Amino acid sequence: MKSLNVLVKRNIKCYLREKSNILYSLLTIIITIGLYILFMSKLYTEDTQRDLEPLGVTNFQWLSDSVMLSGLIPILSITVSLVVLGIIITDKESKITMDFMVAPVNRSVWMLSYIISSIIICAVASFGMVILSDIYLFIVSGYALSFMQLLKIFGIIVLSLIFGNMFMLFILSFVKTSNALGGVGAIVGTLQGFISGCYMPFGLFPKGVYYTLYSLPFAQMSSLIRSVYLENVQTVMNLNAESLPYIEAWKNLFGVNLIYESWTMPIWLMIVNILGFTLIFGLISAYRFIKMKNK
């Protein structure tokens, strides 16, 4: 246990020592927020406001901001874990892993230390994002997330952290060099913005692409968190029977509801699907790393 604690602290220090690591971890978030402020915020808000303002609906900015900010939270579990777990690759290149292998420490301990370090850093980043977004949304609308909403969000974050780390561990099992790691980071960061529905609403994708994305854990994690953020939409926006269908259509467009034809994917199925993918990626990753260590 002492060895594990020492290795976890060492990995966290390695991550924090290089300021570029923090920048790369948050780059997708920074770019997405920048694009949202410059272009997407006005675009998403204007049409909804034009249609619903005559019906007495308010807080349009809150709706748009809630969907965008909540969609960023699952991205952190991917982008941050990529950088933190990337320490595995740099340790291999610098032959540090060779030292671990001859040290009186079980091999599974130092591999577990990478995962725990990544989960800790991802958790701090994700929970921090929730707190900052809640403060911002309170300033914008006067409404903050309730205690029960926060509990639900934290539970979803834990689920996304475990999935994100198992997924990135799977990806990194194929990566051999730091140069290749940089390429993977660029690809993952770009794709994550699309498959989480932050760069473009899900409803604007062709049907085949939409159905593919909505069957993957990335879209489902975004849907779970967004649905919690919008639980009080009727109260916050002063919706009535006439305006409610507009908001439901808006939810469908932005992937809050994941719909196949007339069937909406239930929450329990999303959770089961995410857990299933997590187990698959975890088992494959364990097999590949054990195979590499035995070579």
What confidence tens digit (pLDDT) does each residue in 43-86 have?
A: 778 777 777 777 788 888 888 889 888 888 888 888 899 989 98
- Please report whether residue 150 resides in a domain: yes
| Structural domain count, the chain | 1
Taking phi over 0 as left and psi of -120 to 50 as alpha, with beta for the rest, 58 belongs to: beta
- What distance lies between CA 281 and its chain's CA centroid? 16
Cα four-point dihedral sign 25, 90, 291, 10:
negative
- Identify the domain containing residue 71 by its residue range: 2-30+60-293
* Structure-block tokens of residue 149: 């909403």
- Please report whether residue 144 resides in a domain: yes
- Please report whether residue 47 resides in a domain: no
Q: What is the pTM of this model?
A: 0.88
- Please report whether residue 270 resides in a domain: yes
- Please report whether residue 6 resides in a domain: yes
Mean pLDDT over 99-122 rounds to 78
Number of neighbours of residue 169 by Cβ within 10 angstroms? 24
Residue pLDDT, tens place only, 135-162: 999 988 888 999 999 999 999 999 999 9
- Helix or strand holding residue 264 (H, E): strand 263-264
- Please report whether residue 37 resides in a domain: no
**Position 103 pLDDT exceeds 80:** no
Residue 189's alpha-carbon distances to 88, 221, 278, in angstroms, are 19, 16, 20
- Please report whether residue 54 resides in a domain: no
| Position 262 confidence tier, pLDDT thresholds 50, 70, 90 | confident
| Position 163 confidence tier, pLDDT thresholds 50, 70, 90 | very high
Mean pLDDT over 27-45 rounds to 80
| Position 102 confidence tier, pLDDT thresholds 50, 70, 90 | low
Mean pLDDT over 83-90 rounds to 87
- Please report whether residue 157 resides in a domain: yes
